């Protein structure tokens, strides 16, 4: 915004005026999007999530839903970050961020074009499942029966979708991942389908 308003002596006053007029929506200090009075396409919530708290990528239920792995509609955008976990309630959406350690954080991230001008970072289907297992308190996958029940009954992922996952990628992440035993059981379970 400061680049656009550099000719103003007090650009913050102009920003506040635009927010009051409904021409801008304040997402957080320093991050704005077009308001309802402007006839400009709004950024996708996933793009806002990437910029709101970063570095981060969209994952968990948001990515699982995006890739069509779970049937439920998701009402908040969940992301993984290298920073501390955080939650934002904004005028457009609720955003939550969960911390993952390096180098595990950097695996399985895809760049996806949501529109010709909006590119977001999102977990691959494999990484979204791993992130979900890692970030769900109390989930320790100790048997193939338990792992399959979690994936199919709890998350409601179709077995045919599970068969299409890249297990080589997941295997390559396990050494650097939290909950190594659960992710190893995940791979063993899907391999047996």
Rounded Cα–Cα distance for residues 110 and 173 (Å):
15
Which tops the pLDDT comparison, 128 or 34?
128
Residues 110 and 176 in one domain: yes
**In the chain, beta strands by DSSP E:** 24-28, 31-34, 56-58, 77-81, 86-89, 94-99, 109-115, 118-123
Domain count, the chain: 2
Q: Give the largest Cα separation in the chain, rounded.
A: 66
Q: Is the peptide bond before 55 cis (omega within 30 degrees of 0)?
A: yes
Residues 98 and 177 in one domain: yes
Residues 185 and 155 in one domain: yes
Percent of the chain with pLDDT over 90: 74
Residues 140 and 96 in one domain: yes
pLDDT over 80 (residue 5): no
Residues 17 and 96 in one domain: no
Residues 19 and 60 in one domain: no
Query: Can you give the residue range of the structural domain that contains 73?
Result: 45-191
Residues 78 and 165 in one domain: yes
What would the pLDDT profile of 99-156 be if each residue is shown by its tens digit?
Answer: 999 999 999 999 999 999 899 999 999 999 999 999 999 999 999 999 999 999 999 9
Reading the block at residue 107, the tokens are 């695996």
Mean pLDDT of 183-192: 97
Residues 31 and 64 in one domain: no
- pLDDT at position 41 is 83
């Amino acid at each position: 915004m400061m680049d656009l308003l550099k000719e103003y002596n007090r650009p913050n006053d102009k920003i506040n005026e635009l927010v009051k007029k409904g021409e801008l929506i304040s997402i957080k200090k320093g991050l704005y999007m077009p308001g309802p009075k402007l006839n400009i396409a709004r950024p996708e919530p996933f793009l806002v999530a990437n910029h709101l708290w970063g570095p981060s990528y969209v994952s968990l239920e948001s990515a699982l839903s995006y890739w069509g792995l779970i049937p439920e509609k998701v009402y908040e955008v969940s992301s993984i970050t290298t920073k501390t976990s955080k939650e934002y309630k904004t005028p457009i959406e609720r955003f939550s961020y969960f911390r993952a350690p390096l180098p595990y954080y950097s695996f399985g991230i895809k760049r996806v074009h949501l529109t010709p001008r909006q590119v977001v970072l999102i977990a691959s289907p494999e990484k979204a499942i791993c992130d979900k297992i890692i970030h769900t308190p109390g989930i320790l996958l100790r048997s193939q029966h338990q792992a399959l029940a979690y994936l199919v009954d709890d998350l409601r992922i179709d077995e045919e979708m599970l068969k299409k996952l890249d297990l080589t990628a997941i295997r390559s992440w396990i050494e650097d991942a939290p909950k190594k035993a659960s992710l190893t059981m995940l791979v063993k379970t899907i391999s047996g389908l």
